[in-house]
A and B are shown apart, each in its own frame.
Chain A
Amino acid sequence: MLEVLDVSKIFPGVRALDRVSFRLAAGEVHALVGENGAGKSTLIKVLTGVYQPDEGELRYQGEKAQFGTPMDAQHAGISTIYQEVNLIPQMSVAHNLFLGREPRNRFGLLDEKRMHHEAREILAGYGVTADVKRQLGTLALGAQQMVALARAVMIDAKVVIMDEPTSSLEPREVETLFGIIRDLHRRGIGIIYVSHRLDELYQICDAVTILRDGRVVHTGKLAELERIKLVSLMLGREMSGSFSAFKESDPEVSDAPPVLRARGLTSRRKLHDISFEVRPGEVVGLGGLLGAGRSETIKAIGGAYPLDSGDVQVDGVDLKKPTTVRAVKAGIAVQPEDRKAEGIIAGLSVRENIALAVLPQLSRFGLVSDAKIDAIVEKYMTRLRIKASGPGQLVGDLSGGNQQKVLLARLLATGPRVLLLDEPTRGIDVGAKAEVQSLIDELAAEGLGVVLVSSDAEELIEGADRVVVLRDGVVVGTLTGAEVTTEDLMATIAAGGNQ
């Protein structure tokens, strides 16, 4: 029904899709999986007319197809519901449902009555009972997602693409969604289902296509593919050329009292009762697939993600409800996942970036001491081996690895007790990666507690003394000891929670 033939999409410096082919049959629920940056989003955007393929072609209902705009794709019967609800929160539910194809009366004016009446009828089938005149934004996220789905199906869709449709749904809403998917399936509508929740995939999908680094690494019947195989194909353990600079861990750390203790971290839908401890000198890895709650856990500890319950202790002192200010004061330093957006300030110099977080400590009567800044900057530039033409160089001009080090320097300058690192080696070259890894080792050896999140299974296994595995916001296992292998990690991710 919908075919992708040898499609490539090239962005400056990246081949986001590399001769990708796959086939969606009518009435099929086809899972599309892959880790961050594997090319799923790009592929979806090509299918829905947001991007044009640079090479290859799309075939739709047996004919070559070209979608210049999202509207073209929609008119052809391909509709999409995105991960973030892509509706207009300020408009009413009914207006959202009909936006762009509102029923009109004989004067060409919109027929509000009919719109409201039809909206009520349609939405009842999706379990949404709220007043259709209400502003969409006032509905719960799950209900909004259902409205988006109703809208997507309404337009005589022949193909429906769902990008992580369940990420904001409650369990019973997921049941409703699956009921609707089965119904679509019976009506012969093809569905592309993107999700990281393995249970869901095996529950609802017929076929699967796995993307990695912009390439299709597997496509076929889902029932014939074991979970463990699926996970290892996604993570791509066989990746050549990856090596790790982590040293063997020191076994003697485990007796000291924990420097960080997280207990029962719970946040609506995303985290469920997550507990773990980090001792001084220990590197604790957080493992799991994308969306398992790793980044959320780190952010929650750093006070940047709201918690419904649970507490965080540093050196035995309770943070009460963590806020970013309290966390920093207590000695928690967070290196965010997205270096560019949440970390470095590219337009400022190395010096300014490093000194940013310690300005309060370095100033008297509101005036900053230049000499003290210079001393600190000098110290960390040497210590972390930051390669820059000098403290005055703009951080934006440094390589990814050196940017990462500048960020680390900023965190270290505050004298933290615990270092939370989210994907510290993403997007930096192999040499710099090794350097960052050995730095993490050194810092731990000096008595810092480190929490490491990494999508690179090998980095996690090699770098961490202990790996806490998360799945769908739940701790599903802990791997300890030097003999832990990446296979063990994958087995835990795949099987966890089902044992």
Chain B
Amino acid sequence: MTMTLPVATPEDTRRTDRTDRIVEIVQRQGALAVLVVVVLISFATFPNFRSFDNTATILVAAAPPMLIALGMTFVILTGGIDLSVGSLYVLGGVLAAWASQFGFVTAFAVPLLVCGAIGVANGLLIAYTRMAPFIVTLAALLGARGLMRAISSEGSATFLVQSDAFRRLGNGSFLDIGYQVWLVAGLVVLGIVLLARTRFGHAVYAVGGSEDAAALMGIAVRRTKIWVYVMSGLLAGLAGAINAAKLGSGVTVLGTGMELDAIAAVVIGGTLLTGGAGTIAGTIAGVLLLGVIQNLINQVGNVNSNWQQVISGTFLALVVVAQTYLVKLRRVS
């Protein structure tokens, strides 16, 4: 190339650059900032909150939702949604408890296989029939819940975890922090690398940003979509298994609304529901924020725990409004 003519004058660039950077920081780190503030206030107000044990409790409780939200982040980044994860979470727990009689490995393998397969089905349907993810995964939600009720005789049969090794995973700890927290932390780090530093991760952003453009740029749109639903299914199943290990049985009444909590956490973490923008770091902040709010309500003691949902809901609405505004601010007119 021989010639150059400036396309944007330096002044324009500098001005929009600064607005951009501020908007980007708010969008990316907003949830984290709120989390820090909430934690600091709690530290000052509630003596019990300060204890190391309480922190460990929050983290253990947040482990399964974190896994589900991790998968959901990928799905939402492609512009999709996965409503089936709450059902898969319960199904995974029941299957893990049942399969634990055959040993530690099967306790993991069975829920992962079944939930992964449902994820494959979701992905194939969404990628090839172009049906709305909302409908496809709603069908999976109903199907998986039915399957769970069928194998647990209408939810009345409770499978107790038989494998000691599997039970230890749910109750043992390393450096006084539960094993499951370490496992989840490891997977989250993997997720971050996958999203930010691999071609697959960039394809996820591209598909969510503009599916048609991504296809024209030679991105394997279908394959990308299938994979995110498979990941989401696997992570939901794993979350169920971890929870079963902690509780010592496959509890059939959990998980209702888990998918909505996960979506809320992802959105609070700054990921756009329309896809194409967001980070896992944001999702971590979102999950922890919801967890901390829950924990605080428990600390206060005499408050009805349903207030937690009121607070989370209000917060979610605020975030969405703020995001809409930020996105507008960012768009060059």
State the A residues within 8 Å of B (CB). 50, 69-71, 74-75, 80, 82, 86-91, 95, 99-100, 102, 104, 108-110, 112, 124-131, 134-135, 137-140, 142-143, 146, 151, 172-173, 175-176, 179-180, 183
Give Cα A448–Cα B12 distance, bound, in whole angstroms: 47
Give Cα A102–Cα B215 distance, bound, in whole angstroms: 16
Q: Find out whether the CB atom of B219 lies under 8 angstroms from the CB atom of A99.
A: yes
Q: Please name 14 pairs of A and B residues whose Cβ atoms are closer than 8 Å in the assembled complex, sorted by A.
A: A70-B216, A89-B209, A90-B205, A91-B205, A91-B206, A100-B218, A100-B219, A110-B197, A110-B198, A128-B8, A138-B332, A140-B12, A140-B332, A172-B5
Give Cα A198–Cα B169 distance, bound, in whole angstroms: 73
- Which of A82, A110, A134 is within 8 Å of B202, CB to CB? A110
Q: Does B13 contact A (CB under 8 A)?
A: yes
Give, as a whole number of angstroms, the nearest-CB distance from B80 to chain A: 16
With both beta carbons as reference points, the residue of chain B lying nearest to A178 in the complex is identified as B3
Q: Which of B5, B17, B198, B210 has the largest count of A CB atoms less than 10 A from its CB?
A: B5
Find chain B residues with CB under 8 A from A71 CB: 218, 220
Q: Find out whether the CB atom of A125 lies under 8 angstroms from the CB atom of B213.
A: no
Give, as a whole number of angstroms, the nearest-CB distance from A32 to chain B: 18
Interface residues of B in 3-46 (CB under 8 A from A): 3-8, 10, 12-13, 16-17, 20, 24
Give, as a whole number of angstroms, the nearest-CB distance from A79 to chain B: 10
Q: Find out whether the CB atom of B213 lies under 8 angstroms from the CB atom of A87.
A: yes
Give Cα A88–Cα B4 distance, bound, in whole angstroms: 25
Find chain A residues with CB under 8 A from B7 CB: 126-130, 140, 142-143, 146, 173, 176
State the B residues within 8 Å of A (CB). 1-8, 10, 12-13, 16-17, 20, 24, 193, 196-199, 202-203, 205-206, 208-210, 212-220, 272, 276-277, 330-332
- Which of B1, B4, B8, B209 is within 8 Å of A90, CB to CB? B209
Q: Find out whether the CB atom of B202 lies under 8 angstroms from the CB atom of A86.
A: no
Find chain A residues with CB under 8 A from B331 CB: 137-138
Q: Which of A74, A138, A151, A183 has the largest count of B CB atoms less than 10 A from its CB?
A: A138
Find chain B residues with CB under 8 A from A179 CB: 2-3, 5
Give, as a whole number of angstroms, the nearest-CB distance from A300 to chain B: 17
Give Cα A23–Cα B295 distance, bound, in whole angstroms: 71
Give Cα A179–Cα B214 distance, bound, in whole angstroms: 28
Q: Find out whether the CB atom of B20 lies under 8 angstroms from the CB atom of A135.
A: yes
- Which of B1, B24, B193, B218 is within 8 Å of A125, CB to CB? B1
Give, as a whole number of angstroms, the nearest-CB distance from A179 to chain B: 4
Q: Find out whether the CB atom of B199 lies under 8 angstroms from the CB atom of A102.
A: yes
Q: Find out whether the CB atom of A86 lies under 8 angstroms from the CB atom of B210.
A: yes
Give Cα A126–Cα B7 distance, bound, in whole angstroms: 9
Give Cα A289–Cα B16 distance, bound, in whole angstroms: 36
Find chain B residues with CB under 8 A from A95 CB: 202, 205
Give, as a whole number of angstroms, the nearest-CB distance from A355 to chain B: 32
With both beta carbons as reference points, the residue of chain A lying nearest to B196 in the complex is identified as A110
Give, as a whole number of angstroms, the nearest-CB distance from A232 to chain B: 34
